[in-house]
Structure 1
Amino acid sequence: MAVPTVSVIVAAYNAMPYLTRCITSVADQSIGQDKLEIIVVNDGSTDGTAAELERLSDAYPALMRVIHQENSGGPSVPRNRGLDHARGQFVFFLDADDYLGPEALERMVAMAEENGTDVVLGKMVGVGGRGAPTSMFRRDQPKTDVFSSRVYWTLNPMKLFRRELLERHHLRFPTDLKIGEDQMFVGPAYLHASGISVLASYDCLYWVQRDDDGNITLQTGGSEPRLRFLPRIVDVILENVPAGPGRDHLAHRHLTVEVQQLLGHVAREPRELQQKQLDRLADAIAPLWHEGLNDQLSAMARLRLHLVRHRMLDEVLELTRFEKQLAKSKVATPVLVDGGRAYARYPFLRDPARSVPDSCYDVTDQLGLRHQVTRAELHGTTLRLAGYGYLHRVATEDVTTDLVLRERDSGTEYRLPVRHTATPGLGAHEDEGAYTYEEAGFETTVDIDTAAGGAPLGDGLWDISLAVGAQGLSREVRIGSKRALDVSGTADTRVVDTTLGIRAVTLYTTKPHGNFTLDLGEKKNRVLPHLKFRESRWNASNPNELLITGRWTLGAYPDGPLTLALSNDSGATVAFPVARTAHGDTFTARVPVLDLPAGTWTGELRLSGWSFALPKIPQDLEASKWRRRGLPWYAKSASGSGGRFALLVAKTDLVKAVAGKLKA
């Protein structure tokens, strides 16, 4: 019997009517049924699940295997039993409520095989109002690990696992836990995996919110089951990950997600139980939390952990109520600005009876920075910028906003003053108008001839930032990603006359972030591609004049320096001015061949210090003919010139011409 590529394991309990779509989504996978097996364990269902499984088994006899058992009380036993029967190179755990995208398994297997990874996370999509994790699915990650990505923030088992990994480490779901059994399985799998892949560019798993809210993972059970599993997952981390940044990265998830959820359950329990559960929680997290972690945590998480560590039950309950109300509110918490720092006005801020450190409230580095560019234009040697920038929840008083130019490679930096402008009504669209920012606007002109402290800016990529300041606070942000609809992000390349001579200047937006950068000296944006030739032909009204036409897409360049230069094989040179349309983007060079000496002429278009090779003259272009001192002359495309411009000017050989006519 052929070994399947993927064994899909489904634990089913009272799964109707969702079960049918779940199984069908697997059977219809693009990877093909010959590479699949479906193992469904019916965990003592009391609805129509058993009957539907038999019907589906008859429909897919070579694909599907059904195992019936008494109810076990949770997903661990049926998942383990399915895993014991699996034969595939990979296994995928699928809840009976959910379903797969048509190409999910094929794409995930390909990613695992191409990158030699043991676990693949496929993008999850919430259905019916169910929230799905998102932070780890910002982009595809062919090969990562649990420490340098956000994969640890999703510990559900709906992923592709290499079965050899699971068997080598004897990984199974613990059967004595009602909650957290998935973390005890997925966490070690992550830690032992040779690599983890993230497939974010395709919707792999549809995570369904059941109409009856009967999803196993949504059922609660109070604080007790959570306090049973939390110390165990902490032990997994302590046993497998040495102290340091890696352990802190994993601890972050449990010190925020699990602690917050657990305290929500403690708050709903009888008073006589609350202190006991809080003490157990404090003991459980003590090995993970240390002061060095605080910089990675939000102010709310720092405050929450401080109260838990000091077992301050009344304060914990009050903070939990505050968080619950805050989640419902559309207004962000006000801040206190003091000494160049911002502190969220969470409960007990500077309350002498509680003595909670200010560091638990410090949100300076987490303040939202709102900004927009409303003008970004190059004019000669100057860049004109306008827009606004403000710190969320900080009134625009004592504004100190500056523009910052920073050369990307060298780090050279120049700060330029801006003119502060009024922005009446700004902020009214958020926080129900609780905060307004009346002086958040800015206008400035950057002259590349003087922006370097009175001297010209050197060649380089000058990233443009705004140092937004108010009330002694200052935060810096790259600008351009947020811009008005009439502000273009298209690269604008110009050739300008500066104190250092003719220079190329480009204002462009970076990819993928869309922030403005000033390119001086063609570091990324070249001038040459902005002049394109269209054709070479004889002038219809003057058949002895060669017209070379083209189009230029430069934003601007100085008057006069665009010329056509020709030279022949005898060393003679000539130059012709190039005419540009007054208000258009085309140019025309005129070459009067009557005046050219004999020889093969090559040439280029010149713009100050740049040169552009002329295109080849079409071979089928008829020769231009004229008489000079009574003798016949001609000009035509020179043969054997490859793809380069070559014009042959010569006197007609009368003997050959007569011989040719006689043969004809």
Structure 2
Amino acid sequence: MPGPTVSVIIAAYNAMPYLTRCVTSVAEQTIGRETLEVIVVDDGSTDGTAAELERLNALYPDLLRIFRQPNSGGPSAPRNLGLDHARGRFVFFLDADDHLGPEALERMVHAAERNSTDIVLGRTVGVGGRGAPASMYDRNQPRTDVFSSRVWWTLNPMKLFRRALLEEHALRFPTDLPIGEDQVFVGAAYLHADGISVVADYDCLFWVLRADGGNITRRMKGSELRVRFLPRVVDLLLEHVPAGPGRDHLAHRHLTVDVRNIVVGQLVHEPRATQQKMLSQLADAIEPLLHEGMNRRLSAMARLRLHLVRHRMLDELIALVAFERDLEESGAATPLLVENGRAYARYPFLRDPARPVPDHCYDVTDRLAVRHHVSRAELSGPTLHLAGHAHLHRVPTHDVGTELVLRERDSGVEHRLPVTHTATPGLGSDEDQGRFVYERAGFTARVDIATAAGGAPLGDGLWDVSLAVGAQGLSRETRIGRVRAGEVSGATRTHVVTADGGLRAVTLYTTRPHGNFTLDLGERKHTVLSHLTVDGIRWAAGAPVPELEINGLCTLAGYPEGALRVVLDDGRGATAAFAARRDGDVGFVVRVPVTGLAAGVWGGELRLGGWALPLPPLPAGLPPARWRRHGLPRYAKPAPGGAGRRRFALRVARTALLRALLRRLRRPRRP
């Protein structure tokens, strides 16, 4: 008989009242109880956990397997015991405080089997004020790894593991680490895994903050416990990941998240002797991960913090923590020192002669935020008109030098165009406690597609619109459009304009999902013909002479007056053109006086410059039109075979008088 699909392992220590909901959430999984086993290890509980397990076992007798042991002091031993007894193809570790969404295991098993992956992460939601990891859940990821995603930023074990992976590599939780054991276990599993899936479109795990503060990471106080596990994780990286961008990507998490948690959450609250000892051990632990190239990945604050740790500058580190706390409480950004084309945050000890901290620890030039707002973006003929404001956050608008940048997406060809700077009195006074005001952040710009390429026409392509926002020798580029006034449309609008001696298609649209403006020249993504429709052909009512009336829709945002027309040809070199007139917002009407057409069979197209849309067949049953020319009768009617060939075909001819007379004579007379 095959074993269960999933073994859910729950380590329980004084888990009431949370245990009830935890186990119940597993029993009610849509994957079905027949596919599950729940292994609960009571790690020496002294509350009502044991009695509740007996009650739940009676309620779900074929689901639970209960083990008991003396308290081990951490979750490693009970999880290992559960893993030793697990029979499922997959294992899911669930803390007794937490619970699952009803479809969690079904969705996660499906992801593992469909994508042949060894580990599946399910979206985690914090409950009761508990923070939950989020950056790795921005989208579903059928198959990824630790180097091309953010999964390394969640190293808790509440994930679905293929049990064969854990057994093949003899992976178990280290029992000598009361906390941080999950980082060692999960990190090793990640690095050995053949593919990782992420289920981001369903709330799989609910991560609960206990009202009594009983979550283990909150019970375990002190920097020593945290500094103890960090070298183990560093050794894991050094052993399994070659030096280079991949290792740096993973190291970033520990050099930022873990180091800050240790320093801010624990070390600064401890006795002086403990601080000095733990700071020294922390410095030794992170040293193998630090190198000059790593600095480019880190924020200035992280660089400064790591410099102080690395050089064991305890007093300065404590002062930095106080500065960060005040910074968060104020909600105002730190002022900058702008010098020689670089920007430095005025964090503690900048240019302090008594504390030689290098400038690169404060350099924020490459991370300056650009704020922008578009108040106008519209095409008028061949000219794009733009207006709004843009500035570098925390850099006053002295010596502004903003440019408009057009960059063709495939080739990378770019053109820079000047803008006109305009005044923006009081801009910025409503943020950062009014510390920074941007008085000349406004801009207006005109892009004439006939001259934007250095006096020449812009070539066909997708031209992304950006601003190179400059002030005081600094410059940062940003795509524009995602922040715009309510009256500025982000809808796609295709125009046919007069340019270069002819007609060109120009589309202004916003990208998805970011909403930035792009110009499409030459119908790379947006075609003109998709905006043209002929939806009716009939004889015009009340016309003094027979006129064929052609109705249709043109949903282009603009096109030159008189450029839209119907062109007929008789296949022998003769043509006749008839201009369309607008009918409402998007409709058009073309009148074709057939009395002016020479005898023959006429085909036809709807044309707009070089674009041509074949006219549809004339309606079946359309009666002939008759008139006289020079006293002789003529007619126009659908030509035989036109409808069958799905093309417009109009026969214009003189009436054969003798044949018409004979037909009339053959008609039976009415009595």
Using the size of structure 2 for normalisation, the TM-score is 0.93
* CA displacement, residues 439-469 of structure 1 (integer Å, 9 cap, x when unaligned): 1111111111222222222222211111111
Question: 2 CA distance for matches of 1:292 and 1:632?
Answer: 87
1:658 to 1:4, Cα distance in 2 relative to 1, 3 A: farther
Question: 2 CA distance for matches of 1:481 and 1:310?
Answer: 43
Deviates more, 1:643-652 or 1:159-168: 643-652
The residue aligned with 1:335 is 336
The answer as to whether partners of 1:618 and 1:637 remain within 8 angstroms in 2 is no
How does 1:361-380 map onto structure 2 within 5 Å?
Answer: 361-380=362-381
1:638 to 1:55, Cα distance in 2 relative to 1, 3 A: farther
1:59 to 1:568, Cα distance in 2 relative to 1, 3 A: farther
Say whether 1:641 aligns with 2:644. yes
The residue aligned with 1:506 is 507
1:105 to 1:613, Cα distance in 2 relative to 1, 3 A: farther
* CA displacement, residues 381-427 of structure 1 (integer Å, 9 cap, x when unaligned): 21111111111111111111111111222222221111111222222
Deviates more, 1:472-481 or 1:416-425: 416-425
1:660 to 1:533, Cα distance in 2 relative to 1, 3 A: farther
The residue aligned with 1:276 is 277
The answer as to whether partners of 2:599 and 2:651 remain within 8 angstroms in 1 is yes
1:647 to 1:165, Cα distance in 2 relative to 1, 3 A: farther
AA aligned to 2:443 is: F
Question: 1 CA distance for matches of 2:152 and 2:338?
Answer: 35
* CA displacement, residues 468-495 of structure 1 (integer Å, 9 cap, x when unaligned): 1111111110111111111111111111
Measured after TM superposition, the shift of residue 643 of structure 1 is 3.8
The residue aligned with 2:169 is 169
Say whether 1:546 aligns with 2:557. no
Name the SS of the counterpart of 2:356 in structure 1.
coil
The answer as to whether partners of 1:9 and 1:40 remain within 8 angstroms in 2 is yes
Question: 2 CA distance for matches of 1:649 and 1:36?
Answer: 80
Question: 1 CA distance for matches of 2:531 and 2:134?
Answer: 41
AA aligned to 1:527 is: V
The residue aligned with 1:442 is 443
Measured after TM superposition, the shift of residue 309 of structure 1 is 1.5
1:571 to 1:339, Cα distance in 2 relative to 1, 3 A: closer
Question: 2 CA distance for matches of 1:150 and 1:108?
Answer: 18
Query: How many residues are paired up?
Result: 662
Question: 1 CA distance for matches of 2:113 and 2:501?
Answer: 56
How does 1:26-65 map onto structure 2 within 5 Å?
Answer: 26-65=26-65
Please list every run of 5 or more consecutive structure 2 residues that lacks an aligned counterpart in the other structure. Answer: none
The residue aligned with 1:420 is 421
Please list every run of 5 or more consecutive structure 1 residues that lacks an aligned counterpart in the other structure. Answer: none
The residue aligned with 1:489 is 490
AA aligned to 2:189 is: A
The answer as to whether partners of 1:544 and 1:624 remain within 8 angstroms in 2 is no
Name the SS of the counterpart of 1:468 in structure 2.
strand
Q: CA RMSD in A?
A: 2.4
Name the SS of the counterpart of 1:286 in structure 2.
helix
Measured after TM superposition, the shift of residue 87 of structure 1 is 1.6
The answer as to whether partners of 1:593 and 1:635 remain within 8 angstroms in 2 is no
Question: 1 CA distance for matches of 2:468 and 2:448?
Answer: 19
Deviates more, 1:20-29 or 1:596-605: 596-605
Question: 2 CA distance for matches of 1:615 and 1:37?
Answer: 66
1:186 to 1:661, Cα distance in 2 relative to 1, 3 A: farther
1:497 to 1:64, Cα distance in 2 relative to 1, 3 A: same
* CA displacement, residues 280-311 of structure 1 (integer Å, 9 cap, x when unaligned): 11111111111121111111111111111211
Q: Percent identity?
A: 65
Question: 2 CA distance for matches of 1:630 and 1:69?
Answer: 113
The answer as to whether partners of 2:397 and 2:438 remain within 8 angstroms in 1 is yes
How does 1:70-469 map onto structure 2 within 5 Å?
Answer: 70-264=70-264, 265-469=266-470
* CA displacement, residues 27-86 of structure 1 (integer Å, 9 cap, x when unaligned): 222222232222222222233322332222222223332323332221112211221222
1:458 to 1:634, Cα distance in 2 relative to 1, 3 A: closer
Deviates more, 1:250-259 or 1:409-418: 409-418
1:657 to 1:305, Cα distance in 2 relative to 1, 3 A: farther
1:471 to 1:529, Cα distance in 2 relative to 1, 3 A: same
Measured after TM superposition, the shift of residue 571 of structure 1 is 5.8
AA aligned to 1:347 is: P
AA aligned to 1:23 is: V
1:243 to 1:630, Cα distance in 2 relative to 1, 3 A: same
1:93 to 1:370, Cα distance in 2 relative to 1, 3 A: same
Question: 2 CA distance for matches of 1:182 and 1:4?
Answer: 25
Question: 2 CA distance for matches of 1:622 and 1:63?
Answer: 76
Question: 1 CA distance for matches of 2:242 and 2:183?
Answer: 19
Deviates more, 1:485-494 or 1:81-90: 81-90
Question: 1 CA distance for matches of 2:276 and 2:309?
Answer: 10
1:623 to 1:17, Cα distance in 2 relative to 1, 3 A: farther
The answer as to whether partners of 2:538 and 2:622 remain within 8 angstroms in 1 is no
Question: 2 CA distance for matches of 1:266 and 1:129?
Answer: 24
The residue aligned with 1:577 is 579
Question: 2 CA distance for matches of 1:3 and 1:646?
Answer: 73
Name the SS of the counterpart of 2:580 in structure 1.
strand
Question: 2 CA distance for matches of 1:120 and 1:200?
Answer: 10
Deviates more, 1:56-65 or 1:416-425: 56-65
Measured after TM superposition, the shift of residue 516 of structure 1 is 0.7
Question: 1 CA distance for matches of 2:651 and 2:96?
Answer: 79
Name the SS of the counterpart of 1:267 in structure 2.
helix
The answer as to whether partners of 2:546 and 2:627 remain within 8 angstroms in 1 is no
1:30 to 1:276, Cα distance in 2 relative to 1, 3 A: same
The residue aligned with 2:524 is 523
The answer as to whether partners of 2:638 and 2:650 remain within 8 angstroms in 1 is yes
The answer as to whether partners of 1:122 and 1:204 remain within 8 angstroms in 2 is yes
The residue aligned with 1:561 is 563
* CA displacement, residues 530-565 of structure 1 (integer Å, 9 cap, x when unaligned): 112222233333594332211111111112221112
1:61 to 1:612, Cα distance in 2 relative to 1, 3 A: same
1:654 to 1:48, Cα distance in 2 relative to 1, 3 A: farther
1:57 to 1:596, Cα distance in 2 relative to 1, 3 A: farther
The answer as to whether partners of 2:6 and 2:37 remain within 8 angstroms in 1 is yes
* CA displacement, residues 347-394 of structure 1 (integer Å, 9 cap, x when unaligned): 111111111100011011112211111110111121111111111111
AA aligned to 2:151 is: V
1:326 to 1:220, Cα distance in 2 relative to 1, 3 A: farther
Question: 2 CA distance for matches of 1:659 and 1:297?
Answer: 100
Using the size of structure 1 for normalisation, the TM-score is 0.94
Question: 2 CA distance for matches of 1:204 and 1:656?
Answer: 87
The answer as to whether partners of 2:601 and 2:639 remain within 8 angstroms in 1 is no
Name the SS of the counterpart of 1:355 in structure 2.
coil
* CA displacement, residues 213-272 of structure 1 (integer Å, 9 cap, x when unaligned): 222233342011112111111111111111111111111111111111112212111112
* CA displacement, residues 553-590 of structure 1 (integer Å, 9 cap, x when unaligned): 11111122211122346665332222223x62210122
Measured after TM superposition, the shift of residue 8 of structure 1 is 1.7
The answer as to whether partners of 1:635 and 1:648 remain within 8 angstroms in 2 is yes
